[in-house]
């Protein structure tokens, strides 16, 4: 009997978490082998490793505790990867040498698979004097472009690129350029971006007062605070970025306020961190802890929750000691504070099982109660670890108990901390769980509502035939097991039908007992007016949230839902996208048709030759493989790597035209070249242009577009279907959606953030 509730869950385990040899031969034969590998690794530094291995295995079994993907994929493999999910890098100095030292550190961190955050407020504004060189500064946005280019070239450990967060203070002179930067669809695409909003700024907005933009004590401009706020809101309304981080609230509520200052977060915002701060993540699966689901006596088993949280805290604390770190400064910071981020997933499903409507007052009250229970159990478990192994090195009882969330903690827990100390400075966080929630049987993600209760996933087989798999929400599957296909109760709501105020209410309820922050997306209807949209952020501020991220579907952001009255569909079932992907790579036929192109880069002695071969599949010609050759030995390694990577992508099927987009966006900091009347920013961009020309010539993409050639009606959707978003760069389906602060594919679980 398989432990997986759905084929997609097993597929994700196989693709992302299953340990394999370099040639792809599985080492983990079953998911139980993966659990055993993780449990053994995390128990290795215990005094009684065999005892704790069994307890850790019990926590992992049946997907009850879900360590984040870095731990699940990396623990016990012996590979040189970090088990930490997220980092905030060191403070960027305001000089050229220091800036590029920071760029190097970022590359090293992302190479091991860490997502990173940076505060770019420390770089002088555009046009400021640069002493000693008689020049004007180019400003932080220009250096963000350099970071963006670096991120494109780094493939993180495993199979996903690193994700980045850029923050900038609301009083920086270049804040207006920062706010509008992503209105250019080709710029800073590797960044999530958020504005650091201060209490003083919010007071100025409410008072309709002036606001000074300054750097290093010098005032560069004075603007109207409300006008600047409206600019932030308008950019977010139109482009879904930047997000808003209430930075003064974060620092005021930080348990370590007595020894650190925070000015940045990790890529999804749930971990505000100091310079070189690092955090590891894990989630308790609430959907697996409900007894008698959908029965009159259904309830969360709180005793089981307490025990599971205690074991999870111990597991995560051990990760601090066994993980590798890209930089020594990160290791020192982690050891000094032993921060962990224990959160939840499956909240919406658990609420469904006990008969509560997500977003209601009662659901918010129950969410607050459950999160309080988790916080209490986590802090008590960390106290027990302190008694056994010692408190975190920077612990000072009087200062700690007066900081952050501690004044609100239960008195008996405070007394235990005062007497014994605590092992971990911060313990709770709500992280993105898009991929691990699918792996765990398609439970609802994090504290998000259910996005789609069921949809069809299309898979292209090697012989060209198509198979369909229904992907069902975990709670809906349990409902069907008990009640068949009977009508769903009214409390089965989803993200598309909820009012934004319901989202805010749930985020605020959870935040009360989360000592770090929360990765959450507040879905807004496309037709929400601008004033109501702004009010969502004010509600988040007034209800105690530490940040706010919204998503409003429109022509720019994607995910436009239109309704066809001529077709009858069930509101519970989503038909999925028309783009399909291959369940396994295609085998190569003996003969293929193709074309070879020559690129002569100026100032280069040798030309580069690009051969692209195609395959006919179901009457459609599509790219199958590419070969890139050059006599220049300096090109050898990267041309071979590019050949292998692009060919592997082509053989997976789906909409592979994103390869063109990625290559054409790469620029060489040494400068590009003019070719055939156009400025080409790099050799890689030139190769991307060749591939684009070939795809147009075989009819795979339209003219200047970067999407599959298709019928105009392909973008129309019927009632009950998922909103369509951009094509997934992993599987090709138009199934990307914004959830928990990052784009996630509903079809294959791909995310740049989790």
Q: Note the pLDDT of residue 663.
A: 85
For a pLDDT cut of 70, what percent of the chain falls above it? Answer: 84
> Residue ranges per domain, the chain?
91-193+207-245, 593-697
pLDDT above 60: residue 723: no
- Lowest mean pLDDT of 159-168, 207-216, 242-251, 642-651, name the range: 159-168
> pLDDT: is 63 or 636 the higher one?
63
The residue-averaged pLDDT of 62-85 equals 91
Q: Note the pLDDT of residue 564.
A: 30
Q: Note the pLDDT of residue 374.
A: 98
pLDDT above 80: residue 516: yes
**Sign of the torsion angle spanned by Cα atoms 238, 118, 517, 231:** negative
Q: Note the pLDDT of residue 111.
A: 76
The residue-averaged pLDDT of 644-658 equals 78
The residue-averaged pLDDT of 80-103 equals 90
- Lowest mean pLDDT of 140-154, 378-392, 731-745, name the range: 731-745
- Lowest mean pLDDT of 313-327, 335-349, 723-737, name the range: 723-737
pLDDT above 60: residue 708: no
pLDDT above 80: residue 736: no
C-alpha 420: how far from its chain's center?
36
The residue-averaged pLDDT of 597-613 equals 84
- Average pLDDT score, the chain: 86
**Using CA atoms, how far apart are residues 259 and 253, in angstroms rounded to an integer?**
13
**pLDDT single digits (tens) 420-447:** 999 999 999 999 888 899 999 999 999 9
- Return the active site residues: 266, 268, 270
558 is written with which tokens?
A: 């994607």
Asked if 362 contacts 306 with a C-beta cutoff of 8 angstroms, the reply is no
Q: Note the pLDDT of residue 618.
A: 66
Q: At what angle do helices 199-207 and 225-239 cross, to 10 degrees?
A: 100
pLDDT above 70: residue 715: no
pLDDT above 60: residue 712: no
pLDDT above 70: residue 705: no
**Using CA atoms, how far apart are residues 528 and 537, in angstroms rounded to an integer?**
13
Asked if 648 contacts 585 with a C-beta cutoff of 8 angstroms, the reply is yes
> pLDDT: is 34 or 615 the higher one?
34
The residue-averaged pLDDT of 539-565 equals 73
- Lowest mean pLDDT of 68-72, 258-262, 270-274, 650-654, name the range: 650-654
Q: Note the pLDDT of residue 585.
A: 60
Tell me 355's DSSP state: T
Q: Note the pLDDT of residue 729.
A: 56
- pLDDT band, residue 130 (cuts 50/70/90): confident
Give DSSP secondary structure letters for 705-749: --SB---GGGG---TTSPPB-SPPTTT--S-EEEETTEEEETTT-
Comparing CA positions, the residue from 338, 521, 524 lying closest to residue 433 is: 521
**Using CA atoms, how far apart are residues 115 and 118, in angstroms rounded to an integer?**
10
Grouping H, G, I as helix, E, B as strand and the rest as coil, residue 208 is coil
Q: Note the pLDDT of residue 752.
A: 61
The residue-averaged pLDDT of 264-288 equals 94
Strands (E), 188-273: 191-197, 210-215, 218-224, 243-246, 264-265, 272-273
Asked if 207 contacts 200 with a C-beta cutoff of 8 angstroms, the reply is no
pLDDT above 70: residue 233: yes
- Lowest mean pLDDT of 118-127, 497-506, 646-655, name the range: 646-655
Own/partner pairs, 210-215, CB within 8 angstroms, 24+ separation: 211/170, 211/171, 212/171, 213/171, 213/172, 213/173, 213/175, 214/171, 214/173, 215/124, 215/125, 215/128, 215/172, 215/173
Which residue shows structure tokens 């999407």?
Answer: 707
Q: Residue 555's CB: how many other CB atoms inside 10 A? A: 8
pLDDT above 60: residue 575: no
**Using CA atoms, how far apart are residues 190 and 656, in angstroms rounded to an integer?**
19
What residues have CB less than 8 Å from 119, skipping those under 6 apart? 88, 91, 92, 167, 168, 169, 196, 263, 264
- Lowest mean pLDDT of 377-386, 673-682, 718-727, name the range: 718-727
Q: Note the pLDDT of residue 464.
A: 58
The C-alpha angle with vertex 429 and arms to 193 and 262, in degrees rounded to 5, equals 55
pLDDT above 90: residue 674: no
pLDDT above 70: residue 199: yes
- pLDDT band, residue 716 (cuts 50/70/90): very low
pLDDT above 70: residue 608: yes
- pLDDT band, residue 753 (cuts 50/70/90): low
Q: Note the pLDDT of residue 159.
A: 37
Q: Note the pLDDT of residue 567.
A: 32
Comparing CA positions, the residue from 330, 280, 382 lying closest to residue 67 is: 280
> pLDDT: is 177 or 660 the higher one?
177
Burial class (CB in 10 A: 0-12, 13-18, 19+), 186: exposed
Q: In angstroms, how far is the first alpha carbon of the chain from the final one? A: 29
> pLDDT: is 585 or 203 the higher one?
203
Give DSSP secondary structure letters for 114-131: -EEEEEGGGSPPTT-EET
pLDDT above 60: residue 359: yes
- pLDDT band, residue 577 (cuts 50/70/90): very low
> pLDDT: is 577 or 671 the higher one?
671
49 is written with which tokens?
A: 């490793």
**pLDDT single digits (tens) 58-72:** 999 999 999 999 899
Q: Note the pLDDT of residue 456.
A: 78
The residue-averaged pLDDT of 371-398 equals 98
Which residue shows structure tokens 């028309």?
Answer: 578
**pLDDT single digits (tens) 152-189:** 766 433 334 557 999 999 999 999 999 999 888 778 88
Q: Note the pLDDT of residue 586.
A: 65
**Using CA atoms, how far apart are residues 165 and 193, in angstroms rounded to an integer?**
6
Give DSSP secondary structure letters for 666-692: ---TT--EEETTEEE--HHHHHHHHHH
């Amino acid at each position: 009997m398989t432990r997986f509730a759905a084929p997609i869950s097993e597929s994700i385990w196989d693709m992302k978490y299953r340990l394999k040899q370099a040639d792809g031969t599985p080492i983990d034969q079953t998911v139980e082998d993966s659990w055993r590998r993780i449990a053994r690794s995390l128990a290795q530094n215990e005094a009684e490793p065999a005892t704790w291995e069994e307890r850790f295995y019990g926590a992992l079994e049946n997907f009850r505790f879900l360590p984040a993907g870095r731990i699940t994929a990396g623990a016990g493999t012996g590979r040189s990867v970090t088990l930490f999910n997220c980092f905030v890098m060191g403070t960027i100095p305001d000089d050229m040498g220091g800036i590029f030292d920071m760029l190097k550190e970022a590359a090293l961190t992302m190479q091991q698979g860490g997502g990173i955050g940076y505060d770019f407020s420390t770089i002088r504004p555009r046009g400021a004097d640069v002493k000693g060189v008689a020049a004007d500064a180019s400003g932080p946005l220009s250096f963000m472009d350099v970071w963006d280019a670096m991120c494109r070239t780094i493939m993180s450990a495993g199979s996903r690129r690193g994700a980045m967060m850029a923050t900038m203070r609301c009083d920086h002179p270049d804040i207006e350029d920062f706010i509008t930067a992503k209105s250019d669809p080709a710029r800073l695409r590797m960044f999530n971006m958020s504005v650091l909003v201060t209490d003083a700024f919010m007071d100025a907005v409410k008072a309709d007062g002036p606001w000074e933009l300054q750097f290093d004590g010098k005032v560069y401009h004075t603007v109207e605070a409300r006008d600047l706020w409206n600019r932030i809101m308008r950019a977010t309304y139109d482009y879904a970025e930047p997000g808003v981080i209430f930075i003064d609230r974060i620092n005021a509520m930080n348990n370590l306020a007595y020894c650190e200052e925070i000015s940045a977060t990790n890529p999804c915002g749930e971990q505000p961190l100091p310079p070189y701060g690092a955090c590891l993540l894990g989630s308790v699966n609430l959907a697996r802890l409900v007894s008698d689901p959908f029965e009159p006596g259904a309830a969360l088993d709180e005793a089981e929750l307490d025990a599971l949280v205690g074991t999870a805290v111990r597991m995560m604390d051990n990760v601090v000691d066994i993980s590798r770190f890209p930089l020594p400064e990160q290791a020192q910071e982690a050891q000094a504070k032993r921060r962990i981020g224990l959160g939840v997933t499956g909240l919406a499903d658990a609420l469904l099982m006990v008969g509560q409507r997500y977003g209601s007052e009662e659901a918010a009250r129950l969410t607050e109660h459950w999160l309080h229970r988790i916080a209490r159990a986590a802090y008590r478990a960390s106290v027990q670890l302190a008694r056994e192994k010692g408190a975190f090195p920077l612990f000072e009882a009087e200062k700690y108990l007066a900081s952050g969330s501690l004044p609100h903690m239960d008195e008996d827990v405070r007394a235990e901390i005062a007497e014994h100390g605590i092992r971990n400075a911060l313990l709770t966080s709500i992280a993105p769980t898009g991929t691990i929630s699918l792996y765990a049987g398609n439970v609802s993600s994090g504290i998000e509502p259910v996005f789609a209760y069921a949809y069809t996933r299309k898979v292209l087989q090697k012989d060209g035939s198509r198979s369909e798999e229904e992907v069902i929400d975990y709670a809906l599957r349990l409902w069907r097991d008990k009640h068949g296909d009977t009508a769903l109760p009214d409390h089965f709501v989803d993200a598309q039908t909820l009012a934004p105020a319901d989202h805010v209410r749930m985020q605020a309820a959870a935040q009360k007992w989360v000592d770090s922050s929360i990765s959450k997306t507040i879905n807004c209807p496309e037709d929400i007016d601008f004033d109501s949209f702004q009010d969502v952020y004010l509600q988040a501020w007034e209800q105690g949230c530490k940040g706010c991220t919204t998503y409003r579907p429109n022509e720019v952001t994607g995910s436009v839902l239109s309704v066809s009255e001529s077709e009858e569909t069930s509101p519970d079932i989503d038909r999925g996208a028309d783009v399909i992907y291959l369940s396994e790579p295609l085998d190569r036929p003996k003969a293929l048709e193709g074309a070879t192109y020559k690129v002569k880069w100026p100032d280069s002695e040798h030309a580069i030759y690009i051969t692209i071969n195609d395959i006919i599949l179901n009457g459609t010609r599509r790219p199958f493989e590419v070969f890139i050759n050059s006599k220049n030995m300096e090109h050898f390694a990267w041309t071979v790597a590019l050949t292998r990577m692009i060919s592997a992508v082509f053989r997976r099927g789906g909409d592979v035209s994103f390869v063109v987009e990625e290559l054409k966006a790469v620029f060489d900091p040494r400068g590009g070249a003019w070719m055939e009347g156009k400025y080409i920013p790099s050799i890689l961009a030139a190769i991307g242009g060749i591939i684009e020309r070939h795809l147009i010539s075989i009819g795979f993409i339209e003219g200047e577009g970067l999407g599959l050639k298709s019928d105009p009606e392909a973008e129309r959707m019927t009632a009950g279907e998922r909103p369509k978003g951009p094509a997934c760069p992993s599987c090709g389906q138009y199934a990307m959606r914004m959830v928990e602060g990052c784009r996630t594919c509903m079809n294959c679980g791909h995310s740049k953030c989790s």
